[in-house]
Structure 1
Amino acid sequence: MTERIQEILAGLHELKDVTSVWAVADERVARGDAAFAADLGVALAREYGHAEPLWQYRSVFDHLLRLLATTAGPGNVTEALRLVSSPEAAGRKRDRYAASLLASCRRPEELAVAFSGHASEELRACLVHELVLRGVAVDEEPGIARWARSPHWRYHPLGWLPLTRSGMEDGADLPSYSLSGSSHSMPHGPSDGRPYGQTGGARVPSAAEVTTPQSAAALSSAVADWAEESNGRFEARVYDLAGPLDAGAVPAALLTLGLESLAGAGRKKAALSVAACSPAQAWRVLFVAASTGGAYNSGSHGAYGRLAAWQSLAALAGVADGADAREVEARGHECAWFKFDARTDWFEQVAWDIGLAALSPDGRRLAVLAATDTD
């Protein structure tokens, strides 16, 4: 450990502003000394990482990782991987974040080092699917293909996902990163649907709720951490219908199901808005919800966000357990999809509101997922 790193460690907890530490690391990396940034990060993790993290530690560590991931330079990727793979700093959440950072900022050929050098199997699995989401043909990339095609990780949770991006995933909303921060789109919130006016003419067959704990968990895969790690809540329900429901009658049906999220909807001050959408649009909403999270959590990032989006979409479409991604996508295209929201007391009406419904091809099954969160 260098004397400069020892000085930073000793005084870090007293700092009211850590930009001076950032500047030291920035200058060293600009001079080609990426190892200094990684050494500093490892030393910080060793000193502070296993206790309740100081805000100074969190801020400096994140800056160091972003610095190495976003700054071009020989050895920067290798040092970023050494930093997050050190025993003091390693962790599943950090692997997911690092994979998103690296895939966003680096060319695939630069990332091949992750599959032969410092990197956990978790980071490698996440990195593969972060690249897939960005349209990279990972099975054609030297240095990545052999690991990506190997059967040894097929039992990993991400092993269910295909190594090619489906048409439904084209244009997935992915974050962009810089040294100073990140940004991403939010395709949820108040609906652009047309307010539904009850006319009394829609034929709505009676419905019986058939939600099980297992189906509710599957439906809510994309938003579960809104409730676990933030201020959010969700409602996930499945109904069997006594007769075929016409797609045009779905707005009327939503008001008859006794949904908590739509309690009081349909009145003048709590208008229900519903719009038909494509399965790709539904997937996009689910993906951003899972990958970026709610008001007070950072989500699962791209790889696990991709998995959670498919799990929720499969449950909404009524796909049987054990189906592969191709079957889920095919079934998704057969269903009728809807986005909805209402100005009820249940929805927070801030920025994190979701309402999705899927009607089966025969019109006899309706699945609903609603979620909301607030800061």
Structure 2
Amino acid sequence: MPDDERRRPPGASAARAAGRIAETLADTRSRDSATFAVDLVSRLLPEVALPPDEGDRLLRSVAAKVVKSQHLRDIEPLFREVPDGVPEPAVELRACLLGELALIGSGPGRRSLEAYAEKLRELGHPLARLPGARLDIEHRFAVRVRGLGSVKSAKQLRSRFPEAPSTDGGAVADCGAGDARDDGRVPDDFGISFIKELSLRCLAGEGSRRGSTLACVTTPDDVLNELFSASYVGGVNGHGQGGAYARLYAWESFYALMGLPTDVPLLEAARHAADYRWLRFMAFTDWFHHDTSDLAFAVLDPTRTRVAVLAATDTDVHRDALG
């Protein structure tokens, strides 16, 4: 018997089969189907020791399918009783349901849903930090627009975003720039010349392949949407996190890029984001493959003293060395 089969907990195969039944029920439009799907998963997960990531995926998948397939009037009865604790799968599933409903703008004004959400906030559930309706800055979440897929080439990047011209002032960052205030530089110096001075792994070997390094000015909603999409889709070899958690993870990354404490309200963070300077960049190095979803962002804060860089690629051979 293969080693991975020996490591599977007892009953895991039956639990996976039950999980597939729950997903099918969730996809079938009727109040009974929604109730049975939620009840099946809520009872299944405490009794069978599935790996945590697998159990999470099942909960989030059922929640997403229920919200996509069922009428709100058939989802409401699932929230008749408020929770008395967070860890139970039944509570987690309903938290995901609320998160998925928020993304489609459904649920505000429904007393039972709002009471449940308020209780989750009291209990400190991580998803309860998010507003019950999509913010304007989130307008692109899970929205597909024909012709606007991943940016894979310099031509695509230039066609969709204004290029940030390279300046002489940007090319004097040096390795000490992280600790030194430089009042002589202006925001326009924050471009590809500056980024190339930051000793980033993703730019190692720049110039070894045909093509030039490029940076374009982008917007906070573009960055936030890309962060959401990365979690929502899950990458080439990964697994999507579901809309509710993809939204949470996107905001957590967004806060980290801006250096904001987590107690800043989301609307305040969205307001502050307009004062930052946001860049997308790409290079022609071994790190960038230009065939899947290479992402690279650089962010300059309003004080012009802090730069944050996030770079990720689905085909990075050094998975522990992003950026």
Q: Which residue does 1:242 correspond to in 2?
A: 182
Pairing 1:287–2:228 present: yes
Q: Which residue does 2:141 correspond to in 1?
A: 172
Give the SS at the match of 2:310: strand
What does residue range 48-59 of structure 1 map to in structure 2 within 5 Å?
50-51=9-10, 53=12, 58=16
RMSD: 3.4
Pairing 1:80–2:50 present: no
Give the SS at the match of 2:247: helix
**2:124 equivalent among 155, 162, 181:** 155
What does residue range 328-339 of structure 1 map to in structure 2 within 5 Å?
328-339=269-280
Q: Supply the distance in 2 between the matched residues of 1:310 and 1:94 (Cα, whole angstroms).
A: 23
Q: Which residue does 1:100 correspond to in 2?
A: 64
Q: Is the 8 A contact 1:133 1:165 kept in 2?
A: yes
**2:173 equivalent among 206, 211, 217:** 206
Give the SS at the match of 2:168: coil
Q: Supply the distance in 1 between the matched residues of 2:63 and 2:295 (Cα, whole angstroms).
A: 27
Q: Which residue does 2:100 correspond to in 1?
A: 130
Q: Which residue does 1:45 correspond to in 2?
A: none
* Cα deviation code 1:174-206 (max 9, x no counterpart): 69xxxxxxxxx9646546323989966344453
- Which runs of 5 or more structure 2 residues have no equivalent in the other structure? 1-7, 82-87, 317-323
Q: Give the TM-score of the pair, scaled to structure 1.
A: 0.67
**2:298 equivalent among 339, 357, 362:** 357
- Which runs of 5 or more structure 1 residues have no equivalent in the other structure? 1-48, 176-184, 211-237
Q: Which residue does 1:143 correspond to in 2?
A: 112
**Structure 1 residue 140: Cα displacement:** 0.7
Q: Is the 8 A contact 1:70 1:105 kept in 2?
A: yes
Q: Supply the distance in 2 between the matched residues of 1:287 and 1:209 (Cα, whole angstroms).
A: 33
Distance of aligned partners of 1:354 and 1:190 in 2 relative to their CA distance in 1, 3 Å threshold? farther
Q: Supply the distance in 2 between the matched residues of 1:290 and 1:264 (Cα, whole angstroms).
A: 29
Give the SS at the match of 2:108: helix
* Cα deviation code 1:40-67 (max 9, x no counterpart): xxxxxxxxx844855x974x54542332
**Structure 1 residue 349: Cα displacement:** 3.1
Distance of aligned partners of 1:152 and 1:277 in 2 relative to their CA distance in 1, 3 Å threshold? closer
**1:303 equivalent among 238, 244, 266:** 244
What percent identity do the matched residue pairs reach?
Answer: 27
Q: Supply the distance in 2 between the matched residues of 1:319 and 1:99 (Cα, whole angstroms).
A: 30
Q: Give the TM-score of the pair, scaled to structure 2.
A: 0.77
Q: Supply the distance in 2 between the matched residues of 1:198 and 1:139 (Cα, whole angstroms).
A: 45
Q: Is the 8 A contact 1:270 1:343 kept in 2?
A: yes
Q: Is the 8 A contact 1:262 1:342 kept in 2?
A: yes
Q: Supply the distance in 2 between the matched residues of 1:239 and 1:188 (Cα, whole angstroms).
A: 33
Distance of aligned partners of 1:94 and 1:151 in 2 relative to their CA distance in 1, 3 Å threshold? closer
Distance of aligned partners of 1:107 and 1:340 in 2 relative to their CA distance in 1, 3 Å threshold? farther
Q: Which residue does 1:13 correspond to in 2?
A: none
